[in-house]
Amino acid sequence: MSTFGGGYAGKMLYVNLTDGSIQSRPLDRSFALNYIGGRGFSSRILLDEVKPGIDPYCPDNVVVIAAGTLSGTPTPSSGRLVVAAKSPMTGGLGDANSGGYWSPELKYAGFDAIVIHGKAKEPVYLWIEDGRAELRPAQHLWGQNITETRNLLREEIGDDDIHICAIGPAGENLIRYACVVTDEEGVGGRCGIGAVIGSKKLKAVVVRGSLDVGIADPERFKKTLDAYRETLAGEVWTETLRRLGTPNLTAHRQSHGIWGAKNFQRATIEDYEPISGENFRKKFLMKPIGCMGCLVRCKRYSAIKDGPFAGIHTVGPEYETINALAAKPYVTDPAIVLRAHYLCDEYGLDEQGVGSTVAMAMELYERGLLTKEQTDGQEMVFGNGEALLYFIDKIAYRQGFGALLAEGTKIMGERLNADYYAIHIKGLEVDATDPRKQVTRALTYAVSTRGACHLRGNPYIDEFIKPEEAEAYFGTAAVSELEALEGKGKMVAWSEDWVTISDQMGLCKFAWYRSRSFPMLIKRGLELAKEAFISATGLPMTNEKLYECGERVYNVEKLFNLRQGIGREGDYPPARFFEEELADGPAKGCKLDRKEYDRLLDDYYEARGWDKKTGEPTPEKLRLLGLQ
Amino acid sequence: MGRQRIGYFEDLQDPERICSRCHMCELICAFHHHQVGNPKRSRIRLISLDKGVDIPVTCLNCEDPPCMNICPTGALHRLESEGMVTVNEDLCIGCAMCVNACPVGAVTLDPVDGVAVKCDLCDGDPQCVAYCPANVLKLTDAERFARHRMKEYAKFLQAAGETT
């Protein structure tokens, strides 16, 4: 029985693949109170257990798979999972986050997190059921795509309702941006964690559980649940997500001109309509899908009904699919985009890695920096959907030019002497939008502890916060002015700590951390999150303490990166964003200014309590966070 | 009004009126009955098939219930003639004959307590119905459910008529 009143399973599973040993350890109460769960657990464990300078593919790298604290409780949209390791993309802290049903099942199977060391001699999978775990041979699964792996495991175990977290051929073949896939729905895409798992010869972690996740104070918990439901009523964003999913954002990117299309050479898309969220709904949507207990249900279940790809059923697309596989390579046939998405999911490839790398190759080809001989005879021009599909296969198996594409843009840039066209931060490709129009967005992407990321902070607060709210929270009303820089470093830092809480709790950022009202952000993302934590776990917590847990984790991640040799220089956006103006659309002419960016970065470091030259957290900051 | 039960009222013409696989029905059922998170203690279960098909399944409240008829201890019983078959946990010996007898699998053995559990309609305020975000679960009876199916059929005929 757990020492906690509820919420936590109360146990951590330690697996050493080198000697095959498996150990269950009790979850420490003060560790839980300081790091909460999910990304808090994974980041701290990586800081403690990963030595500086190691090769991400060596047996000494550590993979942490951690469920959010509230995963497994009936808290809506709390089923998010973090899978983390030293990243082969960045050489720094890497983590990937996925939804679906796997994270709750890990709790029902009796564990809050799994810590994996070493490397197996032959392929294995880890089977966990109701507090027991064992390693089983997986030679027969090695080489299989995600669906086939699932089918074989269901047959072997004799149960269709097991939950599977697996890698595809891409992870096995150490494609630098290989992802992990949970069941049919969840993709932990970024940072190449799938490749690290592949390097350990671990094909899958399979869970089944029937143990209770306790609720310490059911009455208070029910009140919180209902209060949360009420906050969704009338939230326009919720309706939009249900109707269109994240692809609703296509309209925003087009109307603001911030797509980052053609490897960030174009801001809008000429033939936009076919790849709009509306068109994906019209042509392919079967129904919305909700992750565990989700009332929003933004995931898409899509089917291609006719044409050359008829018969494909897939969960997707996300906005990121369209950004990566349509905008970047400039492919506007939605069926090809969905087919490409399906292939990425089956091979276990991060579609941002695929789309960014192929788009970079297309630009190099068009500029004459790559020849047709180098690209296996493929016409690598923007808009060539056939080439995109062709190279997804070649990337997954490292064949021909695919072997270079498999390394990501940073290494491709180094090998081809074309660094300038590699649009990455710390080695991870820039996703989501082109940040040249809004410097706070560029800052958020650039300082993100896992490399370029639009989900590590929430720089959009200045679009809707009221002056008096800005004054109260950030000490200056200027934060409510879109163009002003004053206070924005603090705003970005605050938003990072605040969304880190969602990754610790296992809460979805869309369902809990999005609103156009600042008081609602506080109510849902801090106040109700805290209430859910207290009533589920029975542990004491305050808004301030919870926020501090987010800040502590962000600092732990910074310490990890510093120790791996990533300092201030890693906190800059790619040169293209400073050198070239947006070429078209309503934001035409926008680019980043180096002086302005430097100033903002200084402000951000100051708000964080980090040394402006080195990025090191000051001794005072470490002491306040209990990290000395 | 006939014998009540939970019905799955999907509208195949509207993607937002189809079960969206969120499992909230299971979560809230287990929470209501046991104050825990544990879908395997839920009395309604979501069955997911390939190609995006998800169907919530629970007790049909049979006229002549095989679970009750086969129960050797009288643990499964009906208090009122129109009411739901419920389980007296003190009498239940966990033999699972009811589990075998139910034609749709709506009776299960609780993985923690080891006794038979089944839908009890939450004393008339079924929580799965209250929390289903797609509004596809409804408290219903066989007559109303049949009319729902007839309506689907009629819509199909209507659509077919328009295209010929």
Give residue B19's pLDDT. 97
CA separation, residue A4 to residues A185, A479, A535, A538 (Å) = 30, 41, 11, 7
Whether B156 is in a domain gets the answer yes
Burial of B33 from C-beta contacts in 10 A (0-12 / 13-18 / 19+): middle
Q: pLDDT tens digits for A364-398?
A: 999 999 999 999 999 999 999 999 999 999 999 99
* Token pair listed for B141: 């009876």
| A-chain residues near B28 (CB < 8 A) | 74
Mean pLDDT value across chain A: 97
CA separation, residue A307 to residues A178, A279, A311, A524, A580 (Å) = 29, 16, 9, 44, 40
Residues B46 and B126 in one domain: yes
> Which segments in chain B show pLDDT lower than 50?
none
Residues B54 and B125 in one domain: yes
Per-residue pLDDT for A493 more than 60?
A: yes
Residues B40 and B52 in one domain: yes
What total number of domains does chain B contain? 2
Instruction: Yes or no: say if A253 and A567 are a contact pair by the CB < 8 Å rule.
Output: no
Residues B123 and B158 in one domain: yes
Give residue B79's pLDDT. 83
Cβ distance B24 to A76 less than 8 Å, yes or no, reads yes
Quote the CA–CA distance of A490 and A440 in Å, as a whole number: 11
Give residue A1's pLDDT. 47
Whether B93 is in a domain gets the answer yes
Whether B111 is in a domain gets the answer no
Q: pLDDT tens digits for B45-70?
A: 999 998 999 999 999 999 999 999 99
**Interface test mutation site (partner A, options B10, B12, B19, B22, max chain A beta carbons within 10 A):** B22
Q: Is the pTM above the cut of 0.95? A: yes
Residue among B23, B112, B134 whose CB faces A212 most closely: B112
Residues B25 and B49 in one domain: yes
Give residue A170's pLDDT. 98
Confidence of residue A491 (pLDDT cuts 50, 70, 90): very high
Confirm or reject contact between B39 and chain A (CB < 8 A).
yes
Q: pLDDT tens digits for A525-571?
A: 999 999 999 999 999 999 999 999 999 999 999 999 999 999 999 99
Confirm or reject contact between B34 and chain A (CB < 8 A).
yes
User: Between vectors from CA B143 to CA B140 and to CA B147, what angle results, nearest 5°?
Assistant: 95
Q: Secondary structure of chain A: what % helix, strand, coil (to 5)? A: 45, 15, 40
Quote the CA–CA distance of A464 and A466 in Å, as a whole number: 6
Residue of A nearest to B31 (CA): A74
Residues B53 and B8 in one domain: yes
Residues of chain A with pLDDT > 70, as a percent, come to 100
Which residue range(s) make up the domain with B88? 61-104
Whether B110 is in a domain gets the answer no
Per-residue pLDDT for A478 more than 50?
A: yes
Confirm or reject contact between B134 and chain A (CB < 8 A).
yes
Give residue B161's pLDDT. 81
Give residue A142's pLDDT. 98
The three-state secondary structure class of A76 is coil
Give residue B12's pLDDT. 82
Whether B112 is in a domain gets the answer no
- Domains present along chain A, CATH in parentheses: 11-208 (3.60.9.10), 258-422 (1.10.569.10), 441-624 (1.10.599.10)
Residues B68 and B143 in one domain: no
Residue of B nearest to A220 (CA): B35
Residue of A nearest to B33 (CA): A218
Q: pLDDT tens digits for A435-463?
A: 999 999 999 999 999 999 999 999 999 99
* Token pair listed for A593: 């200014």
Instruction: Yes or no: say if B59 and B119 are a contact pair by the CB < 8 Å rule.
Output: yes
Say which CATH number the domain at B85 has: 3.30.70.20
Q: pLDDT tens digits for A1-51?
A: 468 999 999 999 999 999 999 999 999 999 999 999 999 999 999 999 999
Confirm or reject contact between B37 and chain A (CB < 8 A).
yes
Mean pLDDT of A231-246: 92
| A-chain residues near B27 (CB < 8 A) | 73-74, 292-293
Cβ distance A213 to B37 less than 8 Å, yes or no, reads yes
Quote the CA–CA distance of B134 and B118 in Å, as a whole number: 23
Residues B71 and B148 in one domain: no
Angle between helices A334-347 and A385-396 (to 10 degrees): 0
Residues B51 and B70 in one domain: no
Residues B46 and B68 in one domain: no
Whether B131 is in a domain gets the answer yes
Per-residue pLDDT for A421 more than 60?
A: yes
